[in-house]
Structure 1
């Protein structure tokens, strides 16, 4: 675990593989964009021999899918798998996007992994840990996921490892800051002309050895005398932190009495504490210099992963039921057990079609076998529930642009599965004769609406299929066909998420769309009582049209809908035509009477009318009813009603003031606040929906990424006159 003096060769020139779950480690890399996650993954692949210096796999195939730039762009917004091998152990590295808009991909990575590496940049100092990263740390802590921290960008002029370690303790230590401590200290070289002393190696605190990378190869030596004082203070603190988390309750007493605890015991206790998720070591890493075989800290990190991170059998498997919801006994990570695997990511490849990234939790998945696909369904997001049998295509492991064939994927492993045409992200794969359904992981709610329309008639013909395939890949996206505004709306997590979705529609599915202004579902109502007379009389030879009706319209309380009352006396309107009048006024109400929005919350009373024995008809009285309602509207004050959302905002205490001030500027009403613990406050407010269409973006900026919110429809209420006038003006101008 970095305290060993020998390195272990990787799997040069061949795909990593494992024959039993205990020889697998699944690790997700977490950190905001620019922290160095992807560079670290590449450095680990180089150190294990999976790639050579040129970024190519050892058989000469390019590491990138198309070209290096496109490959990096894809990895910045998608969860990607890079399997490597170290000391005979397969390590599945899951590189999660750092952008907040792609937290769905991050959640999928957390589901598939058994441990997490939090990557922070020393170049950014105390600002190097984003609020979103702290939130993910808390999520991992809630489920007891083991975590370690890797400090990158040590080569930067402003990099300060010691200061970054203190920042990590403050951000991640919580009530136990001594559970976040470094295992190594940076070894600095000679001072350069600019006064900067580059990091050339690491000082192992437990082993008290120097690991020097300056020659291009990791060397091991005893520390110089001037290193000893520095080592002693940090080493004592580390030992105390390890012992505090030790399961051996006698260890602290032995240490306090002056007993010298041997390194082997300390390392074993450290590994157990890391695996339990109670101790979080801090390590350092940097990419390899030109000609070097391994980047600084990569060997130490690989030894931590293989020695301290838990094996799949040591982690709890997700809860399973039958597709109908009946409980099933808990699963174990056993290759001989019942098959239970989960699709954690769905993507499309231009050459082989749909590819599903699958984590096997129990049993063994084999190519060309028929499995049962169970989907929870997220109907509100455009995902239907389904229970179907499908034939598994080829199994493979990603290796550069190639997919290396696998003859099986055992419990605990992650593999790519081709040609699962019905399976979507989050679906469960199980045995055909024993179908199972896994408890779903939490999906973030998309809260940024993007209204779209086809760019051309040719695009319109392909739009429906393209959107269906898009949402099948991304369960964090919601597809809505709004029946009131007649808009097609993609609900996304942010602007970057939106841009990537529209680009995928264009490049993958050949569908060009245009973003158009998003419309909220406005309503109209009468502000005062009014009367109207509808006269529809036409004589053009032959059978004519004759219908006259008189109505009265009065406003009702919100939520009342449309109420129709018949008060005709003396048969002025024949009984058979009264439903026709009602049908006409209701049809006109649905079309609106002022700005084209549906009319609601009124009572329409039919008072009188006239009919003709020959020329009156159902159609004539429908028309007369509509005309009467329009005449009444012309004489009354018509209010525009806007939807109001109930908004719940969870934000750091530091940003409560700015958030509440911002809500006030959006015509919002704060209805309550309450402390939520961990220095956060829950703000409850009611805000017009027209004011929060971009709130998902604005809150992130306002709270520096720490704020989260949810929204739900509360009611419609009258819009202020100045805002209503602006909306009407925009409608008249076609905006």
Structure 2
């Protein structure tokens, strides 16, 4: 971290530590869009020699990091991995998207990583930083993941490192802001006419040495006497923060008593506190200037990663479940242990085909070996597109996750990452294990996609390819859900946001050759009788041969919500022969499923068959089915049919500052707020019931309303009567567009 002399051993050091989990560091970069994560990854790769020149590491991705739509929209939407070597260590840098629509990629990065770098831009507003990253910070804190903070864009006009450090302490430090402190102070050059002051170096607070990058090479110099006074306050606070986290309980007493604590002791305590996740250093970094070999602060950051972040040996493994009666093994991050690995990312390469990014947690993954693949399923109604699945698959070629360069690997040890081409039907989240000891790893949490996108094939040729294209799309992205809605007869892709929808449509077209059209999403409406009614169904036809003869009379009365369809037989005297009673019921139920007014299923009624007539020769099962349907339609024509709309129970989690606007917005959506409750410091859970017609775009609207800090869950509650004016408007729309019913 610039305050400790690490030996950069180059090839010799790498050879000495090869094949050991202790030589691996897996670090995920987290931050709001525009914070500079990808630029920082490029700067670190340049400093470590992973690339030979400054510029975008466009191929440094697990799977094509920049598709056509990403080029056009100038944003990365996928998890990318750039491995670099530094001082005998292998560092896997996992760059995650900053847009909330692609939080699934972020969760995959968190699963594969052992530590996190939170990248914040000094040019961004505090609200944007808090809204986009606080929830992820809390997730990392819950599992004890070590975290550090990197401040970027300090050379932007009207930015302040001190102000940004204070904001980070307030947002990330919580009740202990002294756990978030800078290790260095920036050295800025003279301010130009545009108001920008270039970042030229850093001052280490512990050693009080200046790391000067102004010449293009990193040089260490002592500070001027006048600068020592300025640094002392920040240095004292850092030392006190480190000592407060020290395992040596006598250190604070000695320090307060005036004893000098040597820098080595402070650095060692700092590294242990960072690895435990109890202290979070703040650093700053900037890309290399033209012609420079190193970015500013990149050496210090790489040293922090290798010295302060934990090895895979120090992180607990996810829980696993033995399959098929196997005994539960004791798993550790041991290359010689049982194989347990997980597919954390899946995508398609136009030349290689399906490519899987795999994190090995235990054992060693080798080419040409056969492994057991087991995947989690979705068992809820409508989610049958992702069932439980398992197979034995032969591992193909392994490669380092560095884009199209396809650097081959002979093996991937526990704690490391590798790309596997053509891994059968394996999907994101699947577990790879020994075929003789099949295991299933507990899944990581993924957000529920809540923004619907109804689609139709653009042409007959597209219709033939649509099913396969959609299956491959959802296999790659577990945050996308496919629904075949039987009520509305629509194919619906549930996504996380509008950008997520755009990427899904583009991938269907560009990767799988399927063109689709987006159509308005429909909700599943229902119909019911508003009052009792009666109907007579007469189906009498005579032609050559046998005719058709069936007459039935029914009474219909409404039932309480949730009752469904109840059929009662009250025929006396054999007016309808016993063998045709089920025929009448079948016809009535079939008509109820088709609807009796606006084409929506009829529910919550009791239908009583009370009389009828038959013919000894011409009556038949089909004739009485038709008569039953006609009777129900006639009964519906003589009374008012009420439209029922689905109501969802939603739970909205927002910071306290947004509770008022959220409740007001829900009321404007015909919602009923049930109650509120505190859910952690500064956050409130709002419970409400809202008609589903009003929350089709709530995923987008809530993000805008809460500056990205709110999230919500929804669950179907019931169907209830729609307001008469709204129901009439929907009926008019369906009469004008009968094909939409």
Q: So what's the TM-score if we normalise by structure 1? A: 0.96
Residue of structure 1 in register with 2:723 after alignment: 720
2:692 matches 1:692? no
Q: 1:428 aligns with which of 428, 431, 439?
A: 431
Q: Distance in 1 between matches of 2:409 and 2:26?
A: 18
C-alpha separation in 2, matches of 1:16 and 1:697: 51
Q: Which of 423, 439, 442 does residue 439 from structure 1 map onto?
A: 442
Task: Give the match for residue 89 of structure 2.
Answer: 89
> Are 1:619 and 2:622 matched, yes or no?
yes
- 3-state SS in 1 of match to 2:471: helix
What displacement does 1:132 show? 2.8
| TM alignment of 1:669-688, pairs within 5 A | 669-688=672-691
Contact 2:397 2:421 in 1 (8 A): yes
Range moving further from structure 2, 316-325 or 228-237: 316-325
Mapped to 2, the partners of 1:685 and 1:719 lie a distance apart of: 17
Residue number in structure 2 paired with 1:162: 162
Does residue 234 of the first structure (1) align with residue 237 of the second (2)?
A: no
What's the offset of the Cα at 1:732? 2.1
Structure 2 CA distance for aligned equivalents of residues 67 and 497 of structure 1? 15
**8 A Cα contact 1:529 1:636, kept in partner:** yes
CA contact (8 A) 2:363 2:413 kept: yes
Pair 1:584-2:587 in alignment: yes
Following TM superposition, by how much is the alpha carbon of 1:374 offset from its aligned partner in structure 2, in angstroms? Answer: 1.4
CA distance in 2, matches of 1:417, 1:590: 48
Q: CA deviation at 1:149?
A: 0.1
- Compute the displacement of 1:154 (Å): 1.3
Partners of 1:622 and 1:653 lie apart in 2 by: 59
For the 8 Å contact 1:26–1:91, the answer to whether it is kept is yes
Give the equivalent residue in structure 1 for 2:578.
Answer: 575
Which segment is superposed worse, 695-704 or 126-135?
A: 126-135
1:667 counterpart (642, 667, 670)? 670
Structure 1 residues 624 and 125, CA, compared in 2 at 3 Å: closer, same or farther?
A: closer
- After TM superposition, give the deviation of residue 56 of structure 1 in Å: 8.1
Whole-angstrom CA distance in 1 between matches of 2:325 and 2:482: 26
Look up the match of 2:35: 35
CA contact (8 A) 2:60 2:401 kept: no
Residues 408-487 of structure 1: pairs in structure 2 closer than 5 A: 408-487=411-490
- Tell me the CA shift for residue 66 of structure 1: 8.2
- Structure 2: distance between partners of 1:5 and 1:235: 19
Give the alignment's Cα RMSD to 1 decimal.
Answer: 2.1
Alignment of 1:336-735 (within 5 A): 336-380=336-380, 381=383, 382-734=385-737
With 373-382 and 657-666 compared, the bigger mean Cα shift is at 373-382
Distance 1:2 1:244 in 2: 21
Q: What is the alpha-carbon distance in structure 2 between the residues aligned to residue 96 and residue 343 of structure 1?
A: 16
The structural deviation recorded for 1:194 is 4.3
Asked if the contact 2:523–2:646 (Cα under 8 Å) also holds between the matched residues in 1, the reply is: yes
Question: For the residues of structure 2 that align with 1:362 and 1:121, how far apart are their CA atoms?
Answer: 37
Unpaired segments ≥5 residues, structure 1 = none
The structural deviation recorded for 1:55 is 3.6
> 1:186 and 1:642, CA in 2 relative to 1: closer, same or farther beyond 3 A?
same
Distance in structure 2 (CA, Å) of the matches to 1:18 and 1:91: 12
1:320 and 1:327 in contact (8 A); partners too: no
Contact 2:155 2:196 in 1 (8 A): no
Tell me if structure 1 keeps the 8 A contact 2:525–2:645.
Answer: yes
- The answer for the alignment partner of 1:302 in structure 2 is 302
**CA positional deviation for 1:612:** 1.9
Partner SS for 1:552:
strand
Contact 1:15 1:399 in 2 (8 A): no
- The alpha-carbon deviation at position 22 of structure 1 amounts to 0.6
Aligned-residue offset at 1:62: 7.0
Are 1:281 and 2:284 an aligned pair?
Answer: no
Q: Distance in 1 between matches of 2:54 and 2:252?
A: 49
> Tell me, what secondary structure is at the counterpart of 2:129?
coil
> Quick one: structure 1 residues 66 and 670, their matched pair in 2 at CA, closer, same or farther if it must change by over 3 Å?
closer
Provide the residue aligned with 1:221 in structure 2.
221
| Alignment size in residue pairs | 731
Deviations along 1:647-667, one digit per CA (max 9) or x if unpaired, are 111111111111111111111
Q: 1:194 to 1:709 in 2, by over 3 A?
A: closer
CA distance 1:196–1:373, shift in 2 (3 Å) = closer
Displacement of 1:400 in angstroms is 4.3
- Give the Å deviation of 1:448: 1.0
Which whole-Å deviations, capped at 9, do the CAs of 1:366-397 have from their partners, x for residues lacking one? 01111111112234442221221100010001
Q: CA deviation at 1:435?
A: 1.2
Q: Residue 677 of structure 1: SS of its match in structure 2?
A: coil
Structure 1 residues 481 and 325: CA distance shift in structure 2, 3 A? farther
Q: Which stretch has the larger CA shift, 185-194 or 237-246? A: 185-194
Structure 1 residue 255 and structure 2 residue 258: aligned?
A: no
For residues 431 and 279 of structure 1, what CA distance do their matches in structure 2 show?
A: 38
Instruction: Name the CA shift for 1:612/1:172 in 2 (closer, same or farther; >3 Å).
Output: same
Deviations 1:677-709 (A, max 9, x none): 211111111111111111111111111111111
Q: Deviations over 1:238-257 (max 9, x none)?
A: 00000001111010001000
* Aligned partner of residue 150 in structure 2, secondary structure: strand
C-alpha distance in structure 2 between counterparts of 1:62 and 1:322, whole Å: 38
What are the Cα deviations for residues 622-662 of structure 1, in whole angstroms up to 9, with x where unaligned?
A: 11111111111000110001111111111111111111111
Distance 2:208 2:660 in 1: 50
Relative to structure 1, is the Cα distance of residues 16 and 732 closer, same or farther in structure 2, using a 3 angstrom cutoff?
farther
Distance, in Å, in 2 between the alignment partners of 1:325 and 1:443 is: 28
Q: Which residue in the other structure is 1:137 paired with?
A: 137
Query: Alpha carbons of 1:699 and 1:684: their partners in 2 closer, same or farther (altered >3 Å)?
Result: same
Q: Which moved more, 1:474-483 or 1:179-188?
A: 474-483
| Aligned counterpart, 2:24 | 24
| Corresponding residue number in structure 1 for 2:179 | 179
The range that moved more, 653-662 or 318-327, is 318-327
Alignment partner, residue 98 of structure 2: 98
* Cross-structure match for 2:209: 209
Instruction: State whether residues 94 and 109 of structure 2, in contact with CA within 8 Å, keep that contact through their aligned partners in structure 1.
Output: yes
Residues 42 and 56 of structure 2 are in contact (CA less than 8 Å); yes or no, is this contact kept in structure 1?
no
Q: Which moved more, 1:348-357 or 1:564-573?
A: 564-573
Query: Hey, what's the Cα distance between the residues in 1 that align with 2:191 and 2:574?
Result: 105
**Native 8 Å contact 1:343 1:359 kept in 2:** yes
Q: 1:414-457, CA deviations, whole angstroms, 9 ceiling, x for partnerless residues?
A: 11011102211111111111111111111111111111111110
Structure 2 alignment gaps of length 5 or more: none
Q: Deviations over 1:80-116 (max 9, x none)?
A: 1100011010000000111111111111110110000
Matches within 5 A, 1:106-117: 106-117=106-117
How big is the shift at 1:125? 4.3
Tell me the CA shift for residue 219 of structure 1. 0.7
Greater Cα shift, 189-198 or 199-208: 189-198
Aligned-residue offset at 1:726:
1.6
Q: Secondary structure at the match of 1:607?
A: strand
Report the Cα distance in structure 2 between the residues aligned to 1:292 and 1:9, rounded to whole angstroms: 21
